[in-house]
Structure 1
């Protein structure tokens, strides 16, 4: 059996894990009640989840194009959410119920976060996103975006750009968007037409995070 491992982003390690690595961290699923105890091991220049990652892949039925979001709950616990390529969250059911049925994965729309969770939305870039980025209504409501002002947008490297939040009533509906500053962010992160991006609003920081980019092939 091939031994699987999962590398951690270097910037994440630098910000959160250097000199704080626990021997046996726990990964808990965001839903379904799953938990796994693994190890974090340095392999070359990378830090990776090992010794148990095989079980994670098997239990969540990780498929091609799926992506994972990890949140460090404390120094020894990670909270993991699983998303399919279309941006829907995968809901883990128990391994078996009283009838012995196998677990299944059912989709949950990305916008349907619990109120205490940081909201997400997925955007595939078109020409209209070169100068501005419109927020979905549901996302704006959950993020508390209800007036014009400024917003900091950052990438996973921790770099930040200041952007303007404007109210758009072009189509007789109130939609908020990022205008001034957005072009610099898009260019600085090499975002182009056809790229699929996952944006997450960090409520505790009041900042928008570019959480994932899937480049157009």
Structure 2
């Protein structure tokens, strides 16, 4: 199986942080970890943090140590593979300016190698943190269970007291390019909290499914994978105001310009 990958050429600015390519993020944002382990060919592992800075995802904390320990140089080419089975790890290959892969060993670096057992344990802990943070509350789980036992039509009538309950509006901005925040009240009223995807339908009839992702902050929901394509396809440009209406009969969201 091929793993998602990207490459970066090391420049002066990327010694302190490394920006992940935007195309890679738009395709695999839903599986990007908040913390990751960088694994080299020697088997050594470095922990790094992935942070969103000015609409770009970057390797931050731990990245300078990775650069310094391996004595990386300007012009080095680094290839990163995101390991799907362990979402908190990247396999890294490093090529010098002459085009050949660099070889590293523990004795040549200042890095204290992590034992295999320790690395696996660390990876498991990081993966657990990522899963537990967006977990819906017990209250949300009980609410969904009650809804499944109700008559669908009655549930819809009880849930929505007005049109405003199932609508929210947004003025498109630069920070909406790769994800769109769903208001908490709307998400709770429509039962989107806890769901993994929803269908978006544009006013011209074009539709697609987008991934729903609970952010690190409790009880917040974002549209991510699928949203950038939907936005571009329907030319939802900066400055345009859009309405998002939940359709109870289909469980989809109708999008239109205002």
**More strand as a share of residues:** 1
Higher relative contact order (CA 8 A, sep 6+): 2
Range class of TM-score, shorter chain:
0.3 to 0.5
TM-score by length of 2: 0.36
TM-score by length of 1: 0.43
**More helix as a share of residues:** 2
